[in-house]
Amino acid sequence: MSTDGRSTTALVLVLAAILLLWPAFWNGYPLVFADSGTYLSQAIEHYVGWDRPVFYSLALFPLHMTVTTWPAIGVQALLVAYLLHLLRRTLLPDRAVWWLLPIAGALAIASPLPWFTSQLMPDVFTGIVVVAFALLAFAADRLSGTERAWLIALMAFAIAVHLSHVPLAIALLAVLLPMQRSRAPAARCIAPVILAVAALVSVNLAAFGRASLAPFGNVFLLARVIYDGPGMDVLRRDCPTAGWRLCPLVESMPPHWDDFLWRADGPVARAGGAKLVSRDANAIVSAALAAEPGTELLAFAGNSAQQLVRFTTGDGLQPWSETVGPSVARHFPQFENVAFAVSRQNTNRLAVPRALQMLHLATAAAGIAACCAILLVAPRRHLATGLAVAVLVALLANATVTGGLSGPHDRYQSRIMWLPPAVALLGIAALRHATMPAFGR
């Protein structure tokens, strides 16, 4: 590519990234969630949280340098813009780079994508995992060696920033790799998973002395079985003779699992914290599954199915001054604190307009239908087919992992609902190219 060509591409990527950040500009500050304070503070205060991998926090630090968080979401938007550029280039190679702008603009309005690129959370990387995986699996021969290496590194990081991304990546491996004819795509796709798992296990071994992906992940499973019913039955049956830390709190359980896990006066906190509760969690979970396996399986399936259809944009956009504000106050200068304090979100004036929510739902449904149609009409080894399969697998796997194991929340599924319309739009356009080479040759 010529210098002029690289300059044009860079300009288009920057413009596309700006389009994908409009909610942050409207808010007056990057969007935050309850967990954003932890992600800001881990790297600054040099600790590893029990519940969240440290890698997103480590990546944020050189971007904000305790000055301002705007560069962090700027980089997120650029990463997404570049992946959209690669999708456009591999599916529509004869279209100019300027085509990226209407694609990004359409997604910025008609999908939840900008609400996640604008947020100081690793949720935007869920979609990045899927797109990077699909490009490595189906379009690597249309990428340069540098681009392939970059995608492997990006995918490894994207998997490592959120524990739900590990089973998501494994599900993609299990379904997509059998579609290949050669071993090269398998090696390219397996490598990031191995790197991410090794990084997670190594950090947990160093921080907690446990060679585990999630040393205290059984606390989340404990919450699930309690609020699905079998876990509560076990607590009532076996307490207080079992001596579990939660036994004195059985009759004061809050009505929702989030309050059980996160409230400062919730059962986990009152029982001594997640690390102590984790010591009893395996016994309670095992007893619950042994006593009522059918009940828990039905609850798991029901939660997964509910998550599959729950993806309204805007979940979690309420003020988070009590959880995020202290981190900003401790580590950032006055102008950053003022911007955070007067932002629309922190003053409870931020919400996704109802018309946009309805548009996002309609666009997502149309995108899913179009991806299914691609599977029916496209050649089996067409790149659009591979991408459509990747998106549909990701939707099912993400709903199963998040809804089934944690509990349904709109934001869990909303974070990847930009994928169906993006792949449908580009895939249908690509089907007009009769000479499009097959993947896995």
In whole angstroms, give the CA distance from residue 134 to residue 140. Answer: 9
Mean per-residue pLDDT, 30-57: 95
pLDDT at residue 23 in the model: 98
pLDDT at residue 319 in the model: 97
Q: Express each pLDDT in 357-408 by its tens digit.
A: 999 999 999 999 999 999 999 888 889 999 999 999 999 999 999 999 999 9
Torsion sign over Cα 146, 169, 104, 422: positive
Q: How many of the other CB atoms lie within 10 Å of CB of 4?
A: 8
In whole angstroms, give the CA distance from residue 302 to residue 304. Answer: 5
**What would the DSSP string read from start to end of 138-177?**
HSGGGS-HHHHHHHHHHHHHHHHT-TTHHHHHHHHHHHHG
**Rounded to two decimals, what is the model's pTM?**
0.95
Q: Express each pLDDT in 408-424 by its tens digit.
A: 999 999 999 999 999 99
Q: To which residue do tokens 């998997």 refer? A: 159
Centroid of chain to Cα 252: 33
Residue 315 has pLDDT above 60, yes or no: yes
In whole angstroms, give the CA distance from residue 16 to residue 107. Answer: 10
Quick check: 440 and 180 in contact, CB under 8 A?
yes
Q: Using 50, 70 and 90 to split pLDDT, how confident is the model at 14?
A: very high
Residue 295 has pLDDT above 80, yes or no: yes
In whole angstroms, give the CA distance from residue 332 to residue 137. Answer: 42
State the amino acid at position 51 in one-letter form.
Answer: D
**45 Cβ partners below 8 Å, 6+ apart?**
none
Residue 437 has pLDDT above 70, yes or no: no
Mean per-residue pLDDT, 253-276: 94
Using a pLDDT cut of 70, give the percent of the chain over it.
97
Quick check: 316 and 33 in contact, CB under 8 A?
yes
pLDDT at residue 1 in the model: 56
Angle subtended at Cα 37 by Cα 36 and Cα 40, rounded to the nearest 5 degrees? 85
State the amino acid at position 120 in one-letter form.
Answer: L
Q: Write out the H or E segment, with its range, that includes residue 212.
A: none
**52 Cβ partners below 8 Å, 6+ apart?**
35, 38, 39, 42
pLDDT at residue 57 in the model: 98
In whole angstroms, give the CA distance from residue 380 to residue 139. Answer: 15
| Beta-bridge partners for 119 | 31
pLDDT at residue 380 in the model: 84
In whole angstroms, give the CA distance from residue 261 to residue 273. Answer: 9
**26 Cβ partners below 8 Å, 6+ apart?**
344, 350
Q: Using 50, 70 and 90 to split pLDDT, how confident is the model at 8?
A: very high
Q: How many of the other CB atoms lie within 10 Å of CB of 273?
A: 14
Q: To which residue do tokens 């039905």 refer? A: 298
- pLDDT mean across residues, the chain: 94
Read off φ and ψ for residue 31, nearest 5 degrees. Answer: -70, 150
Closest CA to 151 of 162, 168, 164, 139: 139
Q: Express each pLDDT in 89-129 by its tens digit.
A: 999 998 899 999 999 999 999 999 999 999 999 999 999 99
State the amino acid at position 156 in one-letter form.
Answer: A
State the amino acid at position 208 in one-letter form.
Answer: F
In whole angstroms, give the CA distance from residue 410 to residue 245. Answer: 32
Tell whether omega for the bond before 267 is within 30 degrees of 0, i.e. cis.
no
Quick check: 40 and 65 in contact, CB under 8 A?
no
In whole angstroms, give the CA distance from residue 381 to residue 395. Answer: 21
CA atoms within 13 A on the CB side of 413: 29
Quick check: 378 and 339 in contact, CB under 8 A?
no
